[in-house]
Amino acid sequence: MSRIFAAIVLALGISVLGAFIYRAQIDAKDRDRVVQVRGLAEREVNADFVIWPVAFMDVGNDLSTLYESLLEKSNIIQKFLEDNGIAKDEISLSSPDIVDTEGEIYSEHKAPFRYKATYVVTVASSKVELVRSLMGKQAELLKQGIAFVDNDYRYRKIFSFNALNEIKPAMIEEATRNARVAGEKFAKDSESKLGKIKTASQGLFSISDRDENTPYIKIVRVVTNVEYFLED
């Protein structure tokens, strides 16, 4: 009798163990069912800082006279900027870049003036809209005999956005939410349900100009990569 009882207990034990193994196999299989999706968040923002190099050129045959002319014209530019709301600590001056045309070995013709000088007055300010308005008033300086240097990459205007940390949390939340929407659509199409997050990673934030004509308007983007479990 004891042998029969022991056999029954052993059989039950094997059955229970088999059920556990089967359940573990099903769970392992379910864990292998995942979907990887991406979520995008995008914001259009205004630049909050600008660097504006105001470059101008002058010529002459005497270095000391040319230098005095450069100082006089740089003072005119500084006064124009300060009179229109730019603070002194937002203005910086460069050393003049002077070229001796007689030393230009590739020149075939003698220049009317021996020296060419470029001088740069740089504005670095968070008053973006004010600076932009002054860019449109450069004609006032042209009337005072200041010849600006245009179309030179070295003196390009730079607009930047530095308040990224203020919008990061909301953008990450939005990107994650959009990833879940994509995951739910995939799960529905595959006749499954979206489960918990298995893994998630945040992509790098990127800041770019909206277009070539409006560098003061930026597009901020971030993409999150999320992996979800799929359930029946």
Cα within 13 Å of Cα(167), Cβ side: 19
Choice between 199 and 103, residue whose per-residue pLDDT is larger = 199
Check residue 113 and give its pLDDT. 85
Confidence of residue 3 (pLDDT cuts 50, 70, 90): low
Reading the block at residue 118, the tokens are 């470029």
What does the mean pLDDT of the chain come to? Answer: 85
At 99 the three-state DSSP class reads strand
Q: Reduce the secondary structure of 168-199 to three states and give it as a string.
A: HHHHHHHHHHHHHHHHHHHHHHCCCEEEEEEE
Q: Which of 15-19, 85-89, 104-108 has the lowest mean pLDDT?
A: 15-19
Distances (CA, A) of 227 to 6, 31, 39, 123, 175: 48, 12, 11, 47, 13
Q: Is 154 exposed, middle or buried (0-12, 13-18, 19+ CB in 10 A)?
A: exposed
d(CA 183, CA 179): 6
Residue (of 209, 88, 222, 221) closest to 160 by Cα position: 209
What distance in Å separates the CA atoms of residue 110 and residue 56, rounded to the nearest whole number? 22
Residues 140-147 have a mean pLDDT of 90
Torsion of CA 187, 169, 126, 138, to 10 degrees: 0
Q: How far is 232 from 230, CA to CA, in rounded Å?
A: 7
pLDDT at 103: 67
Is residue 147 within 8 A of residue 58, CB to CB? The reply is: yes
Residue 31 pLDDT: 53
Quote the pLDDT of residue 191: 86
Upper half-sphere CA count for residue 134 (Cβ side, 13 Å): 24
Are 181 and 215 spatial neighbours (Cβ–Cβ below 8 Å)?
Answer: no
Quote the pLDDT of residue 24: 38
pLDDT at 202: 85
Report which secondary-structure segment, H or E, holds 74: helix 63-83
Q: With 0-12 CB in 10 A as exposed, 13-18 as middle and 19+ as buried, what is 148?
A: middle
